[in-house]
Chains A and B, each alone.
Chain A
Amino acid sequence: MTAPAAPLPLTGTAEPDLVLAGIAKRFGDHVALGGIDLAVARGEFVAIMGPSGCGKTTLLRIIAGLERMDAGTIRLRGRSVGNVPVNKRNVRLVWQNYALFPHLDVKGNIGFGLSLRRLDKAAIRERVAAAAAMVSLDGFLDRRVTQLSGGQRQRVAIARALVTEPDILLLDEPLSALDAHLRVRMQGEMKRLQQRLGISFVYITHNQSEALSMADRVVVMNAGAIEQIDAPEKLYRRPRTRFVAEFVGANNLLEGTVAGFEDGHLLVDGTVGCMAAHWAADDGPPPARGTAVTLVVQAGKLRLNARSPRDNRVQARVVEREFSGTHVLYILRVEGSAGPAIEIRALMQDPLPDSVGAGFFDLYWSPEDVCVIGPGLLPRRIDAPGGGPGNARTGAASIPQLVGEDARG
């Protein structure tokens, strides 16, 4: 489906642990993956995030070797492994339901991978004990796995994978079966473990806060393609496609057409009037007048007071209110001056005072807090390992080239 990409130039440090180029897979009529390009640097924690059915598990299984891709190449530490069978690749997968062997005890499970090779029994015992200690399971070695709690089983699954010293660890929603409290604790433990070991982690999740808090870079996938790859903060603050803006964080998407450009700010006409959006010089030349764009405003950036005369302002009325502990989410109705009324969301740390929340009130946000999205606007960036901005999915679903420079635009 796509021509194999040119090899990624070495960035000066060690070769990337994993390079995927043009991975495509279909099941019958359904296109599971439509050409995936991704590079994972040595020791990097990459999270892959996306809605159910976006292809993230299929991608993981292809990397592990449990599925064969229809097209594309996989290189693990420089070695092409597309044709290497699953049991000969040095990657390990931590399964979503842990896949622990019920007929073996904890040490039997952890040592399973080692026991398949011709290793000295004493050496196996030692390495199993070390792996168990690493995940704080010493003392559990003789228990049957069916007697363990969810968190303990998960740690056995991780120890079992790590004891074989893989090049890269793949994790398929490992924390999804745990309760919220335990999950948060395990997130920290996993991140620390990864940093201590220095192994690359490719971590699948549909939980945003997990991905954003643990990863060095986050990959957002949708319907078999990558929408955006970026460091968590960049991804959160600067979504580059509509899907990412809707999927990550709580954002308001305001449609409009470009009316002009003034003083580093893009002026956009929308149903709520004219809005200003900050436009940085390195985003390229501003779009022409009349271009349809979408302005993305984080729900948490709407304020009751203006901070500068430049701030955008709308008049809103509370329609619904949701309290979620750390903040309150307001669903608001804004009368459109040039079109139908729209609904926006605002996240407030504290509830609105009664005097304000009763009727119409003003909401402000800064043009600096606005992100502009639109087809054809964004330069094609390259997926460089170690924190470069990611592939942007433009209006035409073409595959970016893995070449050193910006090829076009």
Chain B
Amino acid sequence: MADAALACGAVAEPARGPWALRAVSIAVPVAYTAAFFLVPLAFFVVLGFWRVQDYQVVPGFSLENYRDIAGHILAQSNYGIAIVQSFYVSATTALCAVAFCYPLVLAIVYTVPGRLQRLVLLFAVAPFWTSYILRVFAWQILLARRGIINTAAASLGWDWMEQGWLNTQVATRIGLVHYLAPVLVIILYVSVSSIDRTLIEAARELGASRLQAFRRVIWPLSRVGITVSLSFATIIGFGDVLSGSLLGGGAGRSIVGAVPLFSNMIMSDYASSTNLPRTCALAMILVLILACILVAGLRAAERAQRAVA
């Protein structure tokens, strides 16, 4: 009797595949993440604590870089102001990007017939497969003083549209929105298309006009997707360098003045200075800020999710 029970107990464990297969299938993504993410991250975390003495990099643990940066937060190099500037640019860009992509997604979900939606989505996401820097170069050509937009405006006689588009905040936003759009469209599409259609029919049936159905049903139920998209766009925008420097002239322009973005500062620091550890420390700060934005975004999304479930 006891033996039978033991035997049953031994057999009761769920059947599993060979452990070697499992180990390999876990090992591959772990190795990939380690090689291309963790190792570089560890590299500049560690380097951030090293010092430079007599033009030589001295390994060891020292908080000198961070103290140096803290000293320059609001004076001299103005790191603090640059961080604020980056926040401002990335937040406003995120709003612009979502404001651009959300109506597009609404149009795809509610006006395009079902079987064509995937195709249209493919077109909307197509820029994702081209190089970001090439797209930025293309915008440079389009927005140049004698670029297509100005030339077209001149021939149409639209003087108001003919201006210096490059090296402006608008140009930075255009480049960034173009960059962000494919991914935001996907995120928002998944969110909006998962809204139960019968809820919209029910709202209409109860007397709602199309606008009321949008405001009272579609919009509240899109909030989770929009929160996630905004966080995502802010994070990417914060760390972005290319649009800001190639299209925007390297400096943001906002209430705090014409101050370079934090990401641009890191890049110029790296290019100009011989103090690699300090650049790494700056980059570390950037990563920490991005992590905070991510956490805040996730918490906000969670809250929004709880409100509709």
Contact = CB atoms under 8 A, between A and B. Distances in A.
Contacts, number: 53
A92 B199 CA distance: 14
Interface stretch (A95-103, A254-262, A312-320, A385-393): A95-103
Interface in A61-83: 64-66
A264 B99 CA distance: 81
A160 interface: yes
Range class of the A interface residue count? 20 to 34
Highest count of chain B CB atoms <10 Å: which of A66, A93, A112, A160:
A112
A311 B220 CA distance: 69
Contacts of B246: none
Given A95-B198, A103-B307, A146-B309, A66 B221 contact: no
Given A66-B201, A116-B212, A146-B309, A103 B220 contact: yes
B41 to A, nearest CB: 39
Contacts of A87: 204-209
A99 B201 contact: yes
B309 A102 contact: yes
A86 B205 contact: yes
B308 interface: yes
Contacts of A196: none
Interface in B244-279: none
B95 interface: no
Contacts of B307: 103
Interface string B277-309: 000000000000000000000000000000111
Nearest to B213: A87
B205 A93 contact: yes
Contacts of B96: none
Contact of A97 (B198, B209, B216, B308): B198
A291 interface: no
B81 interface: no
30 contacts: A66-B201, A66-B204, A66-B205, A86-B205, A87-B204, A87-B205, A87-B209, A88-B207, A92-B206, A93-B205, A95-B202, A97-B198, A99-B199, A99-B202, A101-B202, A101-B203, A101-B217, A102-B309, A103-B220, A103-B221, A103-B307, A103-B308, A112-B203, A112-B206, A112-B216, A113-B206, A117-B207, A146-B309, A164-B206, A164-B207
